Structure 1
């Protein structure tokens, strides 16, 4: 179970008991549990939405979105912001883009992108709560974290000093195909092809842009993938 606790500790701000020093093999295996952590987050969001049922939809949607951000500590939003700054300020220069991504400050484009993504999420959550369509809230975090696994399997990691560098040294890419496939099949069966297609197209675009700009992925790209896939899934579900 150490691998699961490591994944939960890394991806969320949910209190986890200290399991001691992480074994390198367990650290690599922890990535396999990312979609499971996403499932837990989704269930917590649905539980909150159910508790708020009957209240004003706008206020309920705002609280669900706030919980979504707080549970993850804004980890993936930070990655999205860094990517937005690097894409605009890097001018296509790899080294400059990587330097910008390491800068803790955020520029105007990062703020704009964050506002747009959060606005889209808020509007989609409001629509889903209005229709009592909770499945998308459960599966969006699952598919978002499955997107990290997919990028880990098929895209080079270009930051040797990044947080994911040690994890990827022991990452079981062959085993990762199962949680990726399971997440995709669940998304297709429960949400239908529009949500999966929207998420897939955004992920495909992000991967191509990351390869063109950086030569591969960084932890910030993984974070951006989570946010874009989650937004695509709930937005597509809201339009059904």
Structure 2
């Protein structure tokens, strides 16, 4: 229960009791990320549905605003930092890490965040004539990604990526894989999730040689948007 509360407090802006735990227990919160994803998805779906009763665009905007608000733009920040690092590093891994550690945002980061928000807004509007319940499962599926990335990719430096590297066990992957299989029965579009998660892992290994907290956050954002796109395409077929 402590790990779930810690994961909720870390990944969202939902108030949770203050808990002090050893670093190993904090690292173990990664095993609960998919559960927090369900909570995020449920909240986004409910708010989007309520807004869509007035107008489809209002529903899309309400869902996106809640998506950003409940996560505190945590993963968007990672996406922006990664975009700045990749844009400025020119293949220099040392410079990549240095730029990503800079608290200021550059033009690459701004463009990446704006495009990400626009993509989600348009896709949410495209999905608004459908039922909103599929949104519950998308953040869940995307947050299985960090378990895979932490297990398969080496950390770039001390930090979040390094702290969670040894916290993911094979039984965690098997367990969440089984839950994902069940979710696919409800929402077949989720079947592509392993391809998206694996593709991001291959990209990070090729471009960065490993992973850190920003890359985890960027991956979650991109997998969510890709799943939205696939869900929209599937609805048109």
Both structures adopt the same fold (TM-score exceeding 0.5): yes
Map of 1:69-218 to 2, 5 A cutoff? 69-135=68-134, 137-160=135-158, 162-169=159-166, 171-192=167-188, 194-197=189-192, 199-218=193-212
Alignment deviations for residues 80-109 of structure 1 (CA, whole Å, 9 cap, x no partner): 111111112110111011111111222222
- Name stretches of at least 5 consecutive residues in structure 2 with no aligned partner: none
Measured after TM superposition, the shift of residue 4 of structure 1 is: 0.4
| Counterpart for residue 219 of structure 1 | 213
Map of 1:34-49 to 2, 5 A cutoff? 34-49=33-48
TM-score (norm 1): 0.90
| Counterpart for residue 4 of structure 1 | 4
RMSD: 1.8
Measured after TM superposition, the shift of residue 25 of structure 1 is: 4.0
| Counterpart for residue 62 of structure 1 | 61
How many residue pairs align between the two structures? 234
- Answer 1 or 2: higher relative contact order, Cα 8 Å, separation at least 6: 1
Measured after TM superposition, the shift of residue 122 of structure 1 is: 0.7
Whole-Å Cα distance in 2 between the matches of residues 201 and 89 of structure 1? 28
Alignment deviations for residues 133-155 of structure 1 (CA, whole Å, 9 cap, x no partner): 421x1111101111111101111
Measured after TM superposition, the shift of residue 132 of structure 1 is: 2.1
Equivalent pair of 1:83/1:101 in contact (CA under 8 Å): yes
Alignment deviations for residues 194-224 of structure 1 (CA, whole Å, 9 cap, x no partner): 5442x44443343223222322111111001
Name the SS for the 2:67 alignment partner: helix
Equivalent pair of 1:13/1:73 in contact (CA under 8 Å): yes
TM-score (norm 2): 0.91
| Counterpart for residue 237 of structure 1 | 231
